Amino acid sequence: AQTVTQSQPEMSVQEAETVTLSCTYDTSESDYYLFWYKQPPSRQMILVIRQEAYKQQNATENRFSVNFQKAAKSFSLKISDSQLGDAAMYFCAYRGIQGAQKLVFGQGTRLTINP
Amino acid sequence: DAGVTQSPTHLIKTRGQQVTLRCSPKSGHDTVSWYQQALGQGPQFIFQYYEEEERQRGNFPDRFSGHQFPNYSSELNVNALLLGDSALYLCASSLSPRAEAFFGQGTRLTVV
């Protein structure tokens, strides 16, 4: 079974600085998707960025980018120029290509932005 | 365009009771998945509905059941509630079982 691990329960960063959230996963599949979701106090899960495992190029969405290391099964999220609105819980998630289409989530990292 | 809507937003039930949670998918989406998110944890997959049938199921007991209607909306039913069923229940819809999932704001269930 696939597992996702986020080893940082909490992180904090000064406004306008850069922060990196870590995620590792375990799978025997060769092709899959990886995601970072943001969950603000409103509770709604919002997709931040996604990465297809067959793509070697790291995904980027404006201030958000990932460092995808397939051999190491590592998938970190970098947030540049942090803003107060970035404060939220961040979840790393895995979804396979074959068989089950469910999302497997990590335990989450609470990100605090200090003004 | 309304996104995924869930009702109710909060509810409180007593142990042993039964509860029904509802989800309306995003317009054009025909697949609905349900997740349970315990306090301080990541969401866990309960099941997925497509074409009015349960297509996949996570590691949840038979007390958890669901339904999908012809208009693609869905219900999650939980029987014989336990204190441990207290959680945020999230609904996600997608254009197909393999497409990107869009989440609702969840229903906060408290069992006392």
Q: What is the pLDDT of residues A53-77, one digit of tens each?
A: 998 899 999 999 999 999 999 999 9
Would you state the structure tokens that stand for residue B51, as one six-digit string?
A: 């074409």
Nearest to A101 among B41, B88, B97 (CB): B97
Each residue's pLDDT tens digit, A35-52: 999 999 889 999 999 999
Cis peptide before B8 (omega within 30 of 0): yes
Selected for mutation to probe chain B from A6, A102, A104 (highest B CB count within 10 Å) is A102
Beta carbons of B42 and A42 less than 8 Å apart: no
Rounded mean pLDDT, B58-79: 97
Residues of chain A with pLDDT > 90, as a percent, come to: 85
The predicted structure's pLDDT at residue A101? 77
Rounded mean pLDDT, B67-91: 97
Selected for mutation to probe chain A from B26, B31, B41 (highest A CB count within 10 Å) is B41
Q: Residue A99: pLDDT above 70?
A: no
Q: How far apart are the first and last CA of chain A?
A: 41
Beta carbons of A42 and B101 less than 8 Å apart: no
- d(C-alpha B16, C-alpha B78), whole Å: 10
Round the average pLDDT of chain A to a whole number and report it.
Answer: 94
The A residues from 48 to 107 touching B (CB cutoff 8 Å) are 50, 91, 93, 100-107
Residue B48 · residue B33 · CB < 8 Å = yes
Rounded mean pLDDT, A13-39: 96
Residues from chain A contacting residue B33 (CB–CB below 8 Å): 102-103
Residue A98 · residue A29 · CB < 8 Å = yes
Would you state the structure tokens that stand for residue B98, as one six-digit string?
A: 């393999």
Task: Please report which confidence band the pLDDT of residue B36 belongs to, taking 50, 70 and 90 as the band edges.
Answer: very high
- d(C-alpha A82, C-alpha A70), whole Å: 26
Rounded mean pLDDT, A9-33: 96
The predicted structure's pLDDT at residue B100? 86
DSSP conformation class of B85: G
Q: How far apart are the first and last CA of chain B?
A: 37
CA atoms within 13 A on the CB side of B34: 33
B80: alpha, beta or left? (left if phi > 0; alpha if psi -120 to 50)? left
Distance from the A17 Cα atom to the nearest Cα atom in chain B, whole angstroms: 26
Specify the pairing of strand B87-94 against strand B31-37.
antiparallel
Nearest CA among A43, A45, A70 for reference residue A55: A70
Q: Residue B46: pLDDT above 60?
A: yes
Beta carbons of A100 and B56 less than 8 Å apart: yes
Q: Residue B97: pLDDT above 90?
A: no
